Chain A
Amino acid sequence: MPDNTETPARHQIRVEEAVKSFSGRVVVDVDHMLLGDRPIEGLIGPNGAGKTTLMRMIMHATGLDRGTVTLIPNGSGGDEVVLSRLPTHRMAGLGVVKSNQVIMDFEKLTIWDSLLLSVADAKQETPYRMFGEKALFEQHEEEMREHLEFFGFADPTLHAMSAGEKKLLDIVRCLLLKPRFLMLDEPTAGLPDEMTEKVMQRVRALADAGTAIVIVEHDLNVIWKLCDEVHFMAEGKLILRGTPDEIRRHHTVIEKYLGEGHV
């Protein structure tokens, strides 16, 4: 009989002495941060706190002036991997995935295209594999259709039209990559409430199955409801860290940065 109190091991990411400046202005300056300790963690802070930049540094989409980002793959075993030495395209293979804050889409590709792009692996996308499309589709048809139905995409042969559709598609692409460490950058912005609820359902399911989740959100209600741990950043630094209750107890600090009425 499996022991149900044993939660599966989660990937963690350790950020050490990481600094990034743009045009002489220090945007991120984090001495030490451990993410993935708890199933769902939140990253909050005022605009310009460096949250998105930090996540981009983890993905190595932007270089680090100093410091390291290390992946501790508890979920799959194996040695630590220094992410800050790898190119961005290696992240997905290691299970490290990030959704986008602003709308990012492929203008020329349909919804099916986006999904198939996510599920395909490198071996299937070489110049001499001319006839692999049907097999790829059949291999993943079930899981793709499941996501499409759950989120209510009407016709996947079309392109994503509205901003909300594109945002959802971005998230579905992330989900199809089978992430072990998923960063969601303001996933609810621009989504209607039912969609936000559906996204959160999927996120909770992933967390229960062992994926580490980090969410950046401005809507603090989502954070308090969902997260087991919250990191508070301001002016590029990590100011506070703790459970939602612990953070709310420091409401003067929070209000100093975010204004009143959030706690």
Chain B
Amino acid sequence: MNLNWLSAFLITGLFSVVMVAGLALLLHLQLGLTRIANFGVVGFFGTGMYVYGVLYVRVDWPFGDPWQFLVCALAGTVAAGIAGTVVGWLIADLDVDAMLLGTFGFATMVFILATTQKSLTGGALGMGGLRFPYKLGTVKANEALWLLILVIIVAGILFYVARVHRSPYGRMLIAVGDNEALARSLGKPAFRAKLLQFTVGSAGMGLLGVMYGVLERFLVNTNLGVELTLAAVVALVLGGSARVWGGVIGAVLTIGVFDIVVQSYLPLPKSWYGQAIPVVKQMVYGATLIAVLMFRPLGILGGMRRDKLMRRVHGA
């Protein structure tokens, strides 16, 4: 198969767009529907990535790939889910400020653990030894297949989110996020619902972390900074935090623009790429958040149109 048209930059760029779209979709369920403020996205992402990586490299498995990959990926996802349960239990019945603190504090703790457990994780120097669970000949072919697998996973997440909107479960989440006291009086177990949903969302973020770790084939704690949380939040807010497709559109317009168009296709001076472009990128992300919230808080796609949805699903 001729992959000459697919440059290495394009593969990693597309991977970033799809990955952030996936994170934004999961964040949409948490932040957009149930109104749980998760500022620790990178913590759950990183938990999945590091648990996967450490188990994959440090444990002497009696079987090889793809089973080694599958077992470790499952472990990483479950670990992120468990982290979601614990953090969720701590914050689900507290106010917004405490949620911010709890999730952000958690992400910081993940960073600290990854940095201090040098024998396991390689600390600030990082750790290699990860590889794709298959061999297709060229690195580019491997990466392209991996990108395809990620697209399938994120498409699955998108399908799930769309179904949630159309299901009794989604309605209950929206009710809990909208007016929790009223939802409780109607018999909805708000705390349990938030906890369960946070667990599932965090597990999903962990899985995306696993995918990223394999693509990079290298774990380093600089991947655990707040930039990834910011990217997911900007993508979601820009596209529309209340809409299914919001995170996807936002990811394309932010990561897509910066990591693909600007990185690869704009003829800018080479010296800018080292330091100026990454800095300007973050400034633009910050400015985008401010501008959207000030002038069009519901993002590009606007508010939830449940009247349209009800008409479509149930008729008049």
Contact = CB atoms under 8 A, between A and B. Distances in A.
Given a CB threshold of 8 Å, the question of whether A touches B is answered with yes
Interface of A: 59, 61, 87-93, 97-98, 100, 104-110, 112-113, 116-118, 120, 122, 124-127, 129-134, 136-137, 155-159, 173, 177
What are the 5 tightest A-B residue pairs by CB atom distance, in nearest-first order? A92-B187, A130-B163, A157-B310, A88-B184, A125-B172
A261 to B, nearest CB: 35
Contacts of A87: 184, 189, 191
B276 interface: no
A84 B15 CA distance: 53
Contacts of B178: 106-109
Contacts of B172: 117, 120, 125
B175 interface: yes
Contacts of B196: 126-127
Contacts of A118: 186
A109 B306 contact: yes
Nearest to B181: A61
Contact of A137 (B191, B314, B316): B314
B197 A61 contact: no
Residue with the highest number of chain A CB atoms closer than 10 Å, among B178, B184, B190: B184
8 contacts: A98-B185, A106-B178, A117-B171, A120-B168, A120-B171, A124-B168, A157-B314, A173-B186
B184 A130 contact: no
Contacts of A106: 174-175, 178-179, 182-183
B179 A177 contact: no
A89 B187 contact: yes
Contacts of A88: 184-185
A109 B160 contact: no
A159 B197 contact: no
A105 to B, nearest CB: 7
Contact of B316 (A108, A136, A157, A177): A157
A98 B196 CA distance: 27
B169 interface: yes
A241 B164 CA distance: 50
* Chain B interface size range: 35 or more
Contacts of B304: 108
Given A120-B171, A125-B188, A130-B163, 19 more contacts: A61-B181, A87-B184, A89-B187, A89-B190, A90-B187, A104-B182, A105-B179, A106-B174, A106-B178, A108-B242, A110-B310, A113-B175, A117-B172, A120-B172, A122-B187, A124-B169, A127-B169, A132-B167, A133-B166
Contacts of B166: 133
A65 to B, nearest CB: 20
Contacts of B242: 108
A159 B184 contact: no
B306 A108 contact: yes
B169 A125 contact: yes
B311 interface: yes
A109 B168 contact: no
Contacts of A134: 313
A129 B167 contact: yes
A242 B190 CA distance: 39
Given A108-B304, A112-B310, A61 B185 contact: yes
Contact of A131 (B167, B181, B184): B167
B307 interface: yes
Interface string B10-26: 00000000000000000
A108 to B, nearest CB: 5
Given A108-B306, A124-B168, A129-B168, A117 B316 contact: no
A100 B186 CA distance: 11
A134 B183 CA distance: 22
